[in-house]
């Protein structure tokens, strides 16, 4: 079905139509464009933010869940918006802490085939169809990025942000904080011994693109000390 005839076509006019991917791949392009436009319009409302990542599988009995909750609470009390992927686990803990701290609690969740997982502490949210557009918004101009222990998704997001620091695609003063030395130190040692020393695929300076800490107060101090320009 062709888009409606008009002198001016809104992107959403295209995305409202059935997608004919095989014969007209432009439909998918317009849907992606619409998601980027809506995403940037949404996330730019929160200029002073910290994005928190981590496992969906931790509950409130887990030490990392409680640490994320405390960190977000203190950051919210200091005027930072807390941004997460909006789901359970560490994301829930961070959004809960943001609410307890009286701050903005934002969730950028992903639409799944049978459900839309949004934790009850998200106060402002946007749902995404594509993981890659959601990742762009999670990484967009935050004052800091904090990674708690997690699975493949957390590692994917962590290495993407580290790569953006490495290639100067984000400001060099934006902290990348890895919370939990029990989880991150073995990974850091592997990077040092295998990538740097054995194969030479990174240099020594690139082992300093992140900081590993254990206590929320340490992370808060790093974030508050960083000189990050406001967008």
- Please name the helix (run of DSSP H) or strand (run of DSSP E) that holds residue 61, with its range, or none: none
pTM for this prediction: 0.87
Is position 5 within any domain? no
In this structure, the answer to whether residues 149 and 176 fall within a common structural domain is yes
In this structure, the answer to whether residues 187 and 88 fall within a common structural domain is yes
Render 123-142 in DSSP notation, one character per residue.
SEEEEES-HHHHHHHHTSS-
What is the SS3 assignment for 53? strand
Beta bridge partners of 17: none
The tens place of each residue's pLDDT in the chain, 231 residues long, gives 444 444 344 444 544 555 565 667 777 888 899 999 999 999 999 989 999 999 999 999 999 999 999 999 999 999 999 999 999 999 999 999 999 999 999 999 988 765 557 999 999 999 999 999 999 999 987 999 999 999 999 999 999 999 999 999 999 999 999 999 999 999 999 999 999 999 999 999 999 999 999 999 999 999 999 987 766
Is position 213 within any domain? yes
Is position 159 within any domain? yes
In this structure, the answer to whether residues 86 and 145 fall within a common structural domain is yes
In this structure, the answer to whether residues 16 and 112 fall within a common structural domain is no
In this structure, the answer to whether residues 26 and 100 fall within a common structural domain is no
Q: Assign residue 206 the CATH number of its domain.
A: 3.40.50.450
**Angle at CA of residue 215, ends 209 and 216, nearest 5°:** 85
Is position 6 within any domain? no
Is position 230 within any domain? no
In this structure, the answer to whether residues 34 and 65 fall within a common structural domain is no
In this structure, the answer to whether residues 25 and 139 fall within a common structural domain is no
Beta bridge partners of 177: 146, 211
Is position 191 within any domain? yes
Is position 231 within any domain? no
What is the SS3 assignment for 107? strand
Query: What is the total count of domains within the chain?
Result: 2
In this structure, the answer to whether residues 65 and 172 fall within a common structural domain is yes
Is position 61 within any domain? yes
In this structure, the answer to whether residues 35 and 126 fall within a common structural domain is no
Distance of CA 158 to the CA centre of its chain: 9
What is the residue range of 17's domain?
Answer: 11-40
In this structure, the answer to whether residues 214 and 145 fall within a common structural domain is yes
Query: What pLDDT score was predicted for residue 19?
Result: 58
In this structure, the answer to whether residues 125 and 15 fall within a common structural domain is no
In this structure, the answer to whether residues 36 and 131 fall within a common structural domain is no
């Amino acid at each position: 079905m062709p888009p409606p005839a008009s002198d001016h076509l809104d992107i959403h006019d295209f995305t409202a139509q059935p997608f004919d991917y095989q014969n007209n791949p432009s439909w998918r392009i317009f849907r992606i464009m619409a998601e980027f436009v809506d995403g940037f319009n949404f996330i730019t409302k929160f200029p002073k933010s910290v994005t928190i990542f981590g496992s969906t599988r931790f509950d409130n009995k887990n030490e990392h869940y409680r640490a994320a909750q405390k960190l977000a609470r203190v950051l919210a009390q200091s005027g930072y918006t807390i941004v997460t992927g909006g789901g359970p686990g560490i994301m829930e803990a961070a959004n809960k802490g943001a609410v307890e701290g009286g701050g903005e609690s934002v969730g950028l969740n992903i639409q799944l085939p049978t459900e839309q997982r949004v934790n009850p502490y998200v106060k402002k949210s946007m749902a995404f169809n594509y993981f890659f557009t959601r990742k762009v918004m999670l990484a967009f101009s935050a004052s800091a990025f904090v990674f708690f222990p997690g699975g493949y998704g957390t590692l994917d997001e962590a290495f993407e942000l580290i790569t953006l620091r490495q290639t100067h695609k984000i400001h060099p003063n934006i902290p990348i904080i890895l919370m939990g030395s029990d989880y991150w130190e073995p990974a850091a040692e592997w990077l040092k011994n295998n990538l740097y020393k054995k194969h030479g695929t990174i240099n020594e300076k690139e082992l300093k693109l992140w900081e590993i800490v254990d206590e929320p107060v340490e992370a808060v101090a790093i974030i508050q000390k960083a000189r990050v320009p406001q967008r």
